[in-house]
């Protein structure tokens, strides 16, 4: 398997842009192990460091999301100006302060340089677990905080809080989406769900990617965040996350694909990838085929030409496919707008 790790001007940093889709969908951990065993030490070092970066990026995103929901809850609860931000920062302080993954990464590379290859592989997995474990807590925390919002202020408050945090999480990450090639879009998408969310049955970040004439099809079995909440963790045997009374929506909304029974965590996919970008730019950003079957794979699409996005993606979030529209960068959505 040949990796291609290089700088993307559109994305603004280096990432895996492997040409082979099967390689692109393979866990960075697995590829690093292969390189360690084969004696390709330079490649192994690149992959170990990149795998850590994949995980740390998502840890930062989830921590920001939790902090923003906490700030929203405090603001809605009547906190004095400034207290909401200060209080939310204090609550997640430990998650921001921990240098997760650095120590086992260093031990991994020390063992590699000393020729202790089996030991290096063991430290590589410990590096994954050091970040995977708080990842599971953060994902469940988001679900529970959104459930609290729905129970306290009604279901529309979930949309409101996700709009509050949209720019700092999804808006910034996909700010140059229109300048990316389709392959770069796939690579960035897969990065987030691979090392970022530990997708796949082994929870290492295994993703399936297929190419069709008009689009790329990306599937997760399971998705490592909402999918594991709904299905449970196949690596440890942990059961699905217990739902509170308000853990799924009871009323259909355009921002829940007009369905009921959608976990609040999963609703952000409808909002950030379909409902909101469809209203800002005419087309969904990265539509998906959400299913209420918790044991089914989660399937996402990256279209090679967004004007050719298939018709069926539009009506479920209340959109009408435009006859012809120039794709323009979406205007930034600042916190507080809805």
pLDDT for 148-200, tens place per residue? 999 999 999 999 999 999 988 998 889 899 999 999 999 999 999 998 999 99
- Rounded to whole angstroms, the Cα distance separating 42 from 111 reads 14
* pLDDT of 291 over the 90 cut: yes
Cα torsion through 68, 74, 80, 81, rounded to 10: 20
pLDDT in tens, 76-92: 999 888 898 999 999 99
The arithmetic mean of pLDDT across residues 126-147, rounded, is 97
Is residue 326 predicted with pLDDT exceeding 80?
A: no
d(CA 182, CA 63): 29
What pLDDT does residue 334 have? 39
Q: Where are the domains of the chain?
A: 5-317
| Model pLDDT, residue 123 | 98
Please report which helix (H) or strand (E) contains residue 97, including its range: helix 93-97
Looking at the predicted structure, is the pLDDT value of residue 126 above 60? yes
Mean pLDDT value across the chain:
93
Q: Is 100 helix (H, G, I), strand (E, B) or coil?
A: coil
Q: How many Å apart are CA 308 and CA 20, to the nearest integer?
A: 24
What pLDDT does 97 receive?
85
Higher pLDDT, 227 or 173: 227
Q: Is the pLDDT of residue 307 over 60?
A: yes
* 302 close to 182: Cβ distance less than 8 angstroms: yes
Hey, is 4 helix, strand or coil?
Answer: coil
Phi (first) and psi of residue 220, to 5 degrees = -125, 130
CA-to-CA dists, residue 186 to 3, 45, 210, 216, angstroms: 15, 24, 11, 7
Contacts with 258 (C-beta within 8 Å, 6 or more apart), sequence order: 252, 316, 317, 318
Distance of alpha carbon 202 from alpha carbon 246, whole angstroms: 30
């Amino acid at each position: 398997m040949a990796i291609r790790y290089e700088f993307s001007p559109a994305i603004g940093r280096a990432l895996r842009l492997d040409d082979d889709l099967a390689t692109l969908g393979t866990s960075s951990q697995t590829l690093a192990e292969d390189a360690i065993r084969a004696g390709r030490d330079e490649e192994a070092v690149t992959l170990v460091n990149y795998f850590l970066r994949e995980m740390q990026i998502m840890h930062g995103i989830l921590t920001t999301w939790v902090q923003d929901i906490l700030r929203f809850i405090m603001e809605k609860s009547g906190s004095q100006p400034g207290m909401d931000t200060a209080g939310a920062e204090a609550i997640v302080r430990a998650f921001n302060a921990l240098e997760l993954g650095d120590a086992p990464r260093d031990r991994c590379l020390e063992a590699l340089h000393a020729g202790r290859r089996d030991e290096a592989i063991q430290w590589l997995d410990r590096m994954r677990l050091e970040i995977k474990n708080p990842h599971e807590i953060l994902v469940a925390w988001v679900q529970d905080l959104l459930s609290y919002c729905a129970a306290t202020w009604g279901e529309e408050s979930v949309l409101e809080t996700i709009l509050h945090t949209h720019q700092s999480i999804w808006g910034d990450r996909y700010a140059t989406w229109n300048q990316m090639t389709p392959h770069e879009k796939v690579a960035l998408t897969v990065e987030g769900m691979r090392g970022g969310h530990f997708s796949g049955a082994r929870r290492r970040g295994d993703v399936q990617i297929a190419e069709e004439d008009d689009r790329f099809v990306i599937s997760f079995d399971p998705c490592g965040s909402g999918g594991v909440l709904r299905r449970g963790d196949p690596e440890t045997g942990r059961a699905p996350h217990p739902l509170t009374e308000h853990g799924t929506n009871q009323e259909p909304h355009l921002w829940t694909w007009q369905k009921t029974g959608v976990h609040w965590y999963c609703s952000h996919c409808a909002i950030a990838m379909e409902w909101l970008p469809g209203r800002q730019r005419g087309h969904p950003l990265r539509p998906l085929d959400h299913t209420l079957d918790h044991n089914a794979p989660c399937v996402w699409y990256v279209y090679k030409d967004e004007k050719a996005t298939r018709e069926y993606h539009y009506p479920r979030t209340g959109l009408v496919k435009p006859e012809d529209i120039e794709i323009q960068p979406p205007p930034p959505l600042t916190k507080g707008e809805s």
